[in-house]
Structure 1
């Protein structure tokens, strides 16, 4: 078992990341910038809803954000079919509008890390809570499928990553050894559930200097910091 512990003043150059066999990598917040998703759900959808219902933007934000918060940390939260039905808005069509597609972007340096790992023949798995339709939309713009042995959407396994059971099902599906696996995540709840399912090697991407590191996850500010570690 390898557990990495370091502070923000340390470099990642000494991390023996190459000793892991399997790399489980999150999508949003790790490879892709989350500003697109935040704007889409917090601003764009309330705007569409306000026009549809002929209400003010202020009232629309109260209604939609209340609905979103009620479903936070559930499967429905990530399910665009669910939200299309609840809001009577074609969420997929809204996501595919040019104005929204243009907002999607890589995290700086993310592709360079993936390129390096690919050249070293690392076994990579994309593990995301994004709904399959959401992933497919993003793959229209970002050609990252070539880097991964498999791309897993939690919705397809019946559990989200915040649920311990998800990680048990994932291990069986991928047939991998968690003691030789590294999870790269930007959500501590997901790391915590993975830890309780037997995973022990983590990289937590965060800007929070006050992170309560209960599972000995190493933390860095950006995926790009790993480029020098392989």
Structure 2
């Protein structure tokens, strides 16, 4: 589905793209509410009801991804709680083979994530994927979330790439829409970001279940 002769740069998301989103889904939807419930003497369901609108209000904003913000808001050590669940961090199938092939072809590889630096460091420590990338960029360094329209221009200003010869792989449709509006030519969505949830039906962008589908023509 990709003509690798037309691609020099690959921008890769982390959570849900390279890594199984089960970790983050479980962390924010179950583990944080559990600890919040313990802190405030609530049932788990009551904690989920209390937290849901607070989480929803921050979706797509940089604060949603900021561990410091949520630590202060919830009076919980979010980075510490992530360490407790670090055993759930897992790399999606065929990711390493893809990264090895891309490096072998001389593709410029950028990890571009909304993850806070503390979360990013934990996940790179657990997976060792950092060794494949020319650069690793957190949206917290850029000052905007990837969903926000100015993010991609700032990224290009800092890490020069040609939009027409760049591929972005991301599980977030909002991020892909933002990148499309900026003019990145090659866009691919991940249809199964969470290994424990069903494949999503995606028609807006080309979609793959795992990185095996992107390998033809790369080797």
The two structures have a TM-score, normalised by structure 2, of: 0.92
Superposition deviation, residue 212 in structure 1 = 4.2
- The worse-fitting range, judged by mean Cα deviation, of 199-208 and 82-91 is 199-208
2:183 pairs, out of 169, 174, 198, with 198
Counterparts of residues 209-224 of structure 1 (less than 5 Å): 209=201, 211-213=202-204, 217-224=205-212
Equivalent residue for 2:194? Answer: none
Equivalent residue for 1:75? Answer: 62
2:200 pairs, out of 205, 208, 222, with 208
Superposition deviation, residue 65 in structure 1 = 2.0
User: SS at the partner of 2:98?
Assistant: helix
How far apart, in 2, do the equivalents of 1:212 and 1:103 lie?
A: 30
Equivalent residue for 1:132? Answer: 117
How far apart, in 2, do the equivalents of 1:42 and 1:21 lie?
A: 38
How far apart, in 1, do the equivalents of 2:103 and 2:203 lie?
A: 32
Gaps of 5+ in 1: 1-11
2:76 pairs, out of 89, 98, 105, with 89
- Post-superposition Cα deviations, 1:26-47, rounded to whole Å, max 9, x if no partner, equal 1111110000000000000111
The two structures, once aligned, show a CA RMSD in angstroms of 1.3
Equivalent residue for 1:175? Answer: 160
How far apart, in 1, do the equivalents of 2:135 and 2:177 lie?
A: 23
Q: Post-superposition, which runs of at least 4 consecutive aligned residues in structure 1 deviate over 4 A? A: none
Gaps of 5+ in 2: 192-198
Q: Does 1:49 align with 2:36?
A: yes
How far apart, in 2, do the equivalents of 1:107 and 1:17 lie?
A: 22
Equivalent residue for 2:26? Answer: 39
Larger Rg over CA atoms? 1
Superposition deviation, residue 208 in structure 1 = 2.9
Provide the aligned length of Structure 1 versus Structure 2: 211
User: SS at the partner of 2:60?
Assistant: coil
